[in-house]
Structure 1
Amino acid sequence: MAAAAAQLLIDEGPSAVTHRRVAEAAGLAAGSGNYYFPSKKELFRAAVAGAEDLRSASALTVARACRPGEESLTSVALRLMAIYFAPKLGSNVVTARLNPILDAGHDPELQEIIRSHQPLLAEALNIGLERMTGRTLGSNDMQLLMQTIGASLLYGFALGENDVLGYSARSIARILELLDVGIVAAPLE
């Protein structure tokens, strides 16, 4: 049930995490969700915890697959966003992925779940960044990068940008430029 709740949260966002939908996704009878999670709050906490575990593990996998040879800092930024929102970065990232993070601000237990995964996500971002550019960031600069990823997506969404991912990637690329991160050419074969 927890794994199904996490996957629904990642794929569809908070509104998909209902007892009925989670039970169906887990292959259980529709009414069995309340047996495992007596309240919606407990179900949502399990979904967030599972989603953050999956996100962190997937971020490391995506980061380790990065290689030199990105064409621009904008393409590096898109890859960094794919790491940060692994296992799936889609155009619905604001509604499906950032809203649960924002919801965490209202619940100290959810805040702790989100906070506890930040070092793992920072590590994954630095692995990907180093593989693509040969550079890593210190903790303060990494915090700035992580904040820019979320804030630029939210801002682009609020502005009604048609391509929120592209808008955000350009902002992230500018931060990378200001942090003196450059492109590394792919090795010759």
Structure 2
Amino acid sequence: DAIDDAEDARFGKDKRGDELPPELARRESRLVKLAEARAALEADAAVRARKEAEKKARDKGDDDDIAAQKGDDAAKNAVVRPKAQRNFTDPDSRIMKTADGSFHYAYNAQAIVDADHQIIVATTLTNIGVDVEQVVPLVEKLHATTGVLPGQVLADAGYCSASNLDYAKTVEAGSDGRTEFFIATGRMKHGERVPEVPRGR
């Protein structure tokens, strides 16, 4: 009608005339984003504190109920780290150190490759920067996808940890020796010679 036409002519089509100016609208949206980022950082800190407290409690021999209670207490008192950051455009990504020594928001992609046929048989994508936590998820995913365990699993020193070595022993024992793990326990310097194997006497 005539009133709508007049308002459209004065304020613009589908405008009411009481909208916030662009500079204020942008400021409010930024504040909302900052509040969301702060809440996400606090949630991350709570999850991290809970996991650390529960692990520490179980390592001390506490039962599940006590460990859970300590986890709850730690989560309630969690504090965001001073240098914690949040990516507005991709909040699931994390700052990771890349091969050139610089730091970027990124993901950690992992793969298991069939050595004989050079075919990727399992993959994972995570926002955890260290590789050491990916051995179990990768092997379990391979098993779930193919229905079998590999005859041999070869991994470099970046995947070596006490828990991964224990997992390897468990899988090897459960497979009656059909699966073997070869995880390097250390790194060699560039140009370093491999020590000769001692000969029997």
The bucket for the TM-score relative to the shorter chain is under 0.3
Larger Rg, first or second structure (1 or 2): 2
Q: TM-score, length-normalised on structure 1? A: 0.26
Q: Is the strand fraction higher in 1 or 2?
A: 2
Q: TM-score, length-normalised on structure 2? A: 0.25
Q: Is the helix fraction higher in 1 or 2?
A: 1
